[in-house]
Amino acid sequence: MKSASSDFQPTTRFGLLTGRGVLIGLLSAFAVVFTANGLLIYNALSTFDGIEVADAYQKGRAYNHVLEAMEIQKQLGWSAAVEVDDKGSAHDVRLRVAFTDRAGQPLRGLTPHGVFYRPVVGGLDQRLAMKEISPGRYEAEFHLAEGGNWIARVAAEGPHGEKFAQEQRVTIRD
């Protein structure tokens, strides 16, 4: 078989394409990708790591104790209706909680406290003891440093050492 003659001429506009040229182009493309990845990894590791507590690993290992405490709390049959009122002024917040037992009766004689903390930002947490304003209803007033997303945590201890805790995400307007 005879090959047909053709008038095709490879372009030389960018120079003659050789194995060396292909290798240099390929290595250059990978160098750009690795440089970009390196910069992104450096920026990711040198900024906030998402860990707010120093002993996060140990707390993670002790999580079974948290699960046991949750089961004990569930067996108590207590419930808490948490209400957050911003009182119409910036960052002044009233936290109200109504505690009831399994039968729906108000729980008296508890020692509750309320905590407001930011999910990501440390150092702005506030903890206050709550006062009983009526049977089973407790209240505390907070002045928060800024608006935004907060977690309101209510914890109470009963007269016989029973423990109860509940968290609720709230948004405080600026």
pLDDT tens, position by position, 56-81: 788 888 888 888 888 988 888 998 99
Decide: residue 140, CB within 10 A, 0-12 exposed, 13-18 middle, 19+ buried. buried
Domain of 148 in residue numbering reads as 56-172
Instruction: Please state the φ and ψ torsions of residue 39, each to the nearest 5 degrees.
Output: -65, -45
Residues 26 and 67 in one domain: no
Paired sense of beta strands 111-117 and 79-85, if any: unpaired
Residue 79 phi/psi, 5-degree rounding, is -140, 155
Q: Are 100 and 78 in contact, with CB atoms under 8 Å apart?
A: yes
Domain contains 7: no
Statement to judge: residues 122 and 80 lie in one domain:
yes
Q: Which residue has the tokens 């947490």?
A: 125
Average pLDDT of the chain to the nearest whole number: 87
Same domain, 38 and 118: no
Same domain, 116 and 137: yes
User: 1 pLDDT exceeds 60?
Assistant: no
Q: 27 CB contacts (<8 Å, ≥6 apart)?
A: none
39 and 67 both lie in a single domain = no
Is 131 found in the same domain as 102?
A: yes
Is 4 inside a domain boundary?
Answer: no
Question: DSSP class of residue 62?
Answer: T
First and final CA of the chain: distance in angstroms?
85
Do the Cβ atoms of 37 and 45 come closer than 8 Å? no
Question: How many residues does the structure list for the chain?
Answer: 174
Q: Tell me whether residue 174 is exposed, middle or buried, using C-beta atoms within 10 angstroms of its C-beta: 0 to 12, 13 to 18, 19 or more.
A: exposed
Please give the model's pTM, rounded to 2 decimal places: 0.62
Q: How confident is the model at residue 41 (pLDDT cuts 50, 70, 90)?
A: very high
User: 91 and 166 in one domain?
Assistant: yes
Q: Do 101 and 160 fall into the same domain?
A: yes
Q: What is the domain-level CATH number for residue 149?
A: 2.60.40.1930
